């Protein structure tokens, strides 16, 4: 993971790089870089000021931490975030990882800076023999059609 110094929304010292909680954890926990208020029954974009460099055949999956989903009623708006290797340094947002969180409750939820809120899992993937895709990414979120 890299910190996007040129587009920092937060102070660099406020950003914690994702870490695994235990030796056998599959996921890297992402930390909130600032306090966040999730309005009742609304969606909020949370910028991480992080981007992930990967090899061509790798992907980063983002999941909500189970404690947020089960105990707080928070979900990732798209259920699972998929960060493709070519998302890195795209022309729209330079590859910044942004999590869209949905508060599925009737009350506002207050999250604290430093809370672990999502987790990322890196995986290698395969393609089929007949794959002929040659299109290159031009933009950021939702740009592949």
Cβ(31)–Cβ(48) below 8 Å: no
- Which regions of the chain are under pLDDT 50? none
* pTM across the whole model: 0.85
pLDDT tens digit sequence for 113-124: 999 999 999 999
DSSP state of 19: B
Residue-level pLDDT at 72: 97
Largest CA distance in the chain: 50
d(CA 132, CA 84): 17
Domains annotated on the chain, with CATH: 2-7+14-124 (2.70.40.10)
């Amino acid at each position: 993971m890299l910190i996007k110094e040129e587009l920092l929304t937060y102070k660099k010292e406020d950003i914690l790089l994702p870490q695994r909680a235990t030796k056998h954890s599959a996921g890297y926990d992402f930390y909130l870089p600032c306090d966040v208020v999730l309005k009742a029954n609304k969606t909020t974009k949370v910028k991480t000021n992080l981007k992930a460099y990967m090899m061509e055949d790798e992907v980063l999956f983002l999941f909500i931490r189970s404690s947020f989903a089960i105990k707080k009623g928070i979900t990732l708006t798209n259920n699972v975030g998929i960060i493709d290797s070519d998302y890195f340094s795209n022309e729209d947002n330079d590859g910044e990882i942004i999590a869209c969180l949905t508060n599925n409750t009737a009350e506002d939820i207050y999250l604290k800076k430093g809370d672990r809120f999502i987790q990322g899992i890196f995986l290698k993937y395969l393609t089929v023999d007949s794959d002929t895709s040659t299109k290159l990414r031009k933009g950021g979120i939702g740009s592949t059609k």
